Amino acid sequence: MSAPWADTGDGVLLEHLSVATGAMMFIVSLKPKTLWVNDALVEQTGYTFEDYAFERFENPFIPPEDIAVVLAELTRFLASDDGVSREVRNRFVDRWGGTLHVRSRIAKILWKGEQALLYTTYLAGPDQAQAVELEQRYRSLVEAATDAIVRLTPALTVQFSNRSFQALVGKPPLELNSLRFTDLVAQSHRAELHRQLTSDAVTIAVNVPVSSADGQEAWLEGTFVRTTVGPHAGMLQAILRDTTEKRRLDARVQQAQKRETLGQLAGGIAHDLNNILTGVLGSATLAEEALRRGQSAAEPLADIRLAAQRAGELSSSMLAYAGEGNAQRVPLSLADLVVEMKPLLASALPKNVELQVTTPEGPLAVVGDENQLRQVIMNLIINAADASRQTGGAVEVSAGVRAVEDAPRDGVQVFGDGPTTGRVAFVLVEDRGTGMSPQLVTRIFDPFFSTKARGRGLGLAAALGILGRHGGCVRVKSEPGRGTSMEVWLPLTDQPLRGKVKATDAASLVGGQGVVVLVVDDEAMIRRLARRALEQRGYQVLEAGCGEDALEVLRAHPEVQAVVLDQTMPGMGGQKTLEQLRKDAPTLPVVRTSGYSAEQAGGASDAHTHFLSKPFGTPQLLDVLRQALDRD
Confidence of residue 508 (pLDDT cuts 50, 70, 90): very low
Confidence of residue 324 (pLDDT cuts 50, 70, 90): very low
Q: What is the CATH number of the domain that holds 383?
A: 3.30.565.10
In a domain, 276, yes or no: yes
Do 284 and 411 lie in one domain? The reply is yes
Do 423 and 553 lie in one domain? The reply is no
9-18, 69-78, 108-117, 432-441: range with lowest mean pLDDT: 9-18
Predicted TM-score of the model (pTM): 0.41
Using alpha carbons, select from 309, 287, 290, 291 the residue that is nearest to residue 300: 287
Q: Indicate whether 224 pLDDT > 90.
A: yes
| pLDDT averaged over every residue in the chain | 82
Segment 397-435, tens digit of pLDDT: 999 999 887 777 788 999 988 888 888 999 999 998 888
pLDDT at 262: 61
**Count of Cβ atoms closer than 10 Å to residue 75 Cβ:** 11
Q: Indicate whether 590 pLDDT > 90.
A: yes
Segment 326-367, tens digit of pLDDT: 456 789 999 988 888 787 676 667 778 888 999 998 889 999
Contact between residue 629 and residue 515 where contact means Cβ atoms under 8 Å apart: yes
Confidence of residue 257 (pLDDT cuts 50, 70, 90): low
Residue bearing the bigger pLDDT, 5 or 334: 334
In a domain, 195, yes or no: yes
pLDDT at 138: 64
Domain boundary among 432, 457, 491: 491
DSSP secondary structure code for residue 269 in this structure: H
**CA-based R_g, the chain, Å:** 35
Q: Indicate whether 502 pLDDT > 70.
A: no
pLDDT at 501: 42
Using alpha carbons, select from 465, 487, 482, 466 the residue that is nearest to residue 409: 487
Q: In whole angstroms, how far apart are CA 323 and each of 5, 220, 601? A: 75, 26, 11
**Which percentage of the chain shows pLDDT scores above 70?**
83
Contact between residue 585 and residue 572 where contact means Cβ atoms under 8 Å apart: no
Residue bearing the bigger pLDDT, 219 or 464: 219
Domain boundary among 456, 491, 526: 491
Hey, which bits of 483-561 come out as E strands? 483-491, 516-520, 540-544
pLDDT at 581: 92
Residue bearing the bigger pLDDT, 368 or 142: 368
Q: What is the CATH number of the domain that holds 63?
A: 3.30.450.20
Contacts 24+ apart (CB under 8 A), 6-12: 6/83, 6/107, 6/108, 6/109, 6/110, 7/109, 7/110, 8/109, 8/110, 8/111, 8/112, 8/118, 10/112, 11/36, 11/111, 11/112
Do 233 and 255 lie in one domain? The reply is no
**Domain count of the fold of the chain:** 4
Do 252 and 367 lie in one domain? The reply is yes
> Letter for the amino acid at 623?
D
Segment 441-461, tens digit of pLDDT: 888 887 656 665 444 445 677
Beta-carbon contacts of residue 289 (< 8 Å; ≥ 6 apart): none
Do 443 and 540 lie in one domain? The reply is no
Segment 295-317, tens digit of pLDDT: 998 888 877 877 787 676 566 55
Task: Express the helix, strand and coil content of the chain in percent, nearest 5 each.
Answer: 40, 25, 35
For the segment 596-613, the average pLDDT, to the nearest whole number, is 71
Segment 168-177, tens digit of pLDDT: 999 988 788 8
Do 328 and 404 lie in one domain? The reply is yes
Do 85 and 192 lie in one domain? The reply is no
Domain boundary among 491, 517, 539: 491
Contact between residue 388 and residue 348 where contact means Cβ atoms under 8 Å apart: no
In a domain, 498, yes or no: no
Do 103 and 179 lie in one domain? The reply is no
Do 222 and 356 lie in one domain? The reply is no
> Letter for the amino acid at 400?
G
| Three-class SS state of 575 | helix
In a domain, 497, yes or no: no
pLDDT at 427: 95
The parent domain of residue 152 ranges over 145-242
Q: Indicate whether 72 pLDDT > 80.
A: yes
In a domain, 373, yes or no: yes
pLDDT at 13: 76
